[in-house]
A = this chain, B = another copy of it.
């Protein structure tokens, strides 16, 4: 383990790229050696990310496999789905540690890429080598990997809400609904009709409501945990905040159980996990992404309507942190042998 790991951020001009830079610029064990952007190559990073004025003085550069491997030990790929997979095999051969934030290596079953992403996966063998980068489920495997497939934001929120439920069989349901409320930054930095401020502000707008891609990875991970087939229907809704996701995962309880037992099982499941905070109590009884913004925390809680046997487990994250860049750095830390929360001890803001 060298003093500082030399890190490249590939695709540094989007929101996830920018968030990686925000974190890595203060990470004590990282030196950012390269920040690539096809569109902005040659221009200052702070031109695109004005928040980083005075913090990052580098320019964007173009990407090449050789330059990346020459200048860096680890590489974060913040690229669109279907683009990462063109570079990962070579970078993997070259021996770099790869944290891929796209969906390209998240699914174990290559068939699912056809169904959910519309392409035939060209490197099915590599899928087995990738570790799904959710440290709360794959801590040990992450220690020994050089290829991390960093989870999607809605998948992260959904899995974290449901993991204790399926692992400890709190309800015996095999099908779950994850009703997700999503902030606008989740859609990325590229403007569209739907992201136009007058349209997006004050919206409470369902989208992808007949099938959301992140269901595939959520089902993979929850089925593994449950040791049986679990189906999850993710129903996302755009709301008008800029950051934050709340997943409300609904299921039906048939057995007799009480709130304390539910709480105990969730607490037990997440015992020792640095970024999980179990939320109960009277002033703020349920998770709200508002109180994790800017940080890598996932706040987990639940509500149980005993009368009718309905259990909802909630998970609140910052979509750009625990839902993207923060979680990627967390997995990177583990794979590097650093403290899991190195560079990630960033308290959330209040109010924000």
Partner-B contacts on A (CB < 8 A): 15, 18-19, 22, 25-26, 47-55, 175, 177, 179, 181, 183-185, 187, 189-193, 195-207, 209-211, 231, 233, 235, 237, 239-246, 248, 250, 252, 277, 279, 281, 283-284, 286-295, 297, 299, 303-310, 312, 314, 316, 345-352
Contact = CB atoms under 8 A, between A and B. Distances in A.
12 contacts: A47-B281, A52-B348, A55-B347, A198-B351, A203-B290, A204-B244, A206-B303, A211-B307, A235-B303, A240-B241, A294-B352, A346-B346
Contacts of A196: 189-191, 195-197
Given A179-B248, A351-B185, A15 B284 contact: no
Given A211-B305, A237-B181, A241-B240, A349 B206 contact: no
Given A184-B198, A312-B209, A289 B50 contact: no
Copies in the complex: 4
B303 A209 contact: yes
Question: Which has the most chain B C-beta neighbours within 10 Å: A26, A196, A248, A279?
Answer: A196
A346 B348 CA distance: 12
Nearest to A53: B277
A350 B21 CA distance: 11
B179 A250 contact: yes
B15 A201 contact: no
Nearest to A193: B191
Contact of A191 (B50, B191, B289): B191
Given A184-B201, A235-B248, A235-B310, 6 more contacts: A51-B348, A175-B310, A189-B196, A202-B244, A294-B352, A352-B352
Contacts of A242: 197-198, 201-202, 351-352
Given A201-B201, A204-B289, A177 B241 contact: no
A350 B22 contact: yes
